[in-house]
Structure 1
Amino acid sequence: MAYEIPVTQARAELADLINRVVYGGERVVVTRHGKPLVALVSAADLARLENAGEAAEEQVISSVSSFGSTSSTPAARGRFGLAAEHHRPEDRT
C-alpha cells in the first residue's frame, strides 16, 4: 500500500519523500483535493513496471498477429453467418 500525501505538503517534504522511496522502499501517492495526482516510485520499481508493460505488449501483439493468419472456410462463413471477408491488397491481384 502506498503512502498518500497532499501536494502542498509534498512540496515542503520532497527530500524526505525521496528518501522514503529510495531507502525505505515505499511508494508515495501525491494527491490534490483527495484524488491521486502522481506517484513517486524508485527507479528500480519504474524499470520493473516498464519491463512488465513491454512483455504484456509483446504478448498482445503476438496474439493479435496470429488471428491474421487464419482464414475461414465457406462452410464456416455460412454456419456463423459471416457476411464480409477481409482481403489484403496484395491478395486481390
Structure 2
Amino acid sequence: MAYEIPVTRARAELADLINRVVYGGERVVVTRHGKPLVALVPAADLERLEGLEEKEAVVEEQVISSVSSIGSAAPAPASSDRQRFGIAAEHRGQGGSGA
C-alpha cells in the first residue's frame, strides 16, 4: 500500500518524501481533496512500467497485423455465389482483383 499525503503537506515535506521513495522503497501518492493526483515511485518502478507499455504496443501491432493478414487472405466469393446471394458489388482490397 502506498503512503498518501495531501498536496499541501507534500510541498512542505518534498525532501522527506523523496528520501522515503529512494531509500525506503516506498511509493507516495499525493492527493488533492482526497483523490490521487500524482505518485512518487522509485525510478526502477518507472522503468518497469515503461517496459510494459512498450511490450503492450508490440503485442498490439502483432495482433493488428495478424488480423489484417487474415482479412486480406479471404477468397473472393465465386460469381455464382454473388448471384445466389444477390451481391451486386464487392470490396476490393489494395491491389486485389476481387474476382
Same structural fold, with TM-score higher than 0.5 when normalized by the shorter chain: yes
C-alpha displacement of 1:42: 1.1
Alignment pair present for 1:52 and 2:52: yes
Write out the 4+ residue segments of structure 1 that deviate beyond 6 Å after TM superposition. Answer: none
Indicate how the Cα distance of structure 1 residues 25 and 55 shifts in structure 2: closer, same or farther if over 3 A, else same.
Answer: same
Match of 1:72 in 2: 74
C-alpha displacement of 1:56: 1.2
SS at match of 2:31: strand
Match of 1:33 in 2: 33
Q: Deviations over 1:41-69 (max 9, x none)?
A: 11111101000110111111111111111
| TM-score, reference length from structure 2 | 0.75
C-alpha displacement of 1:16: 0.5
User: What is the number of equivalent residue pairs in this alignment?
Assistant: 85
Q: What are structure 1's unaligned runs of at least 5 residues?
A: none
| TM-score, reference length from structure 1 | 0.80
SS at match of 1:87: coil
Q: What are structure 2's unaligned runs of at least 5 residues?
A: 83-88
Indicate how the Cα distance of structure 1 residues 72 and 25 shifts in structure 2: closer, same or farther if over 3 A, else same.
Answer: same
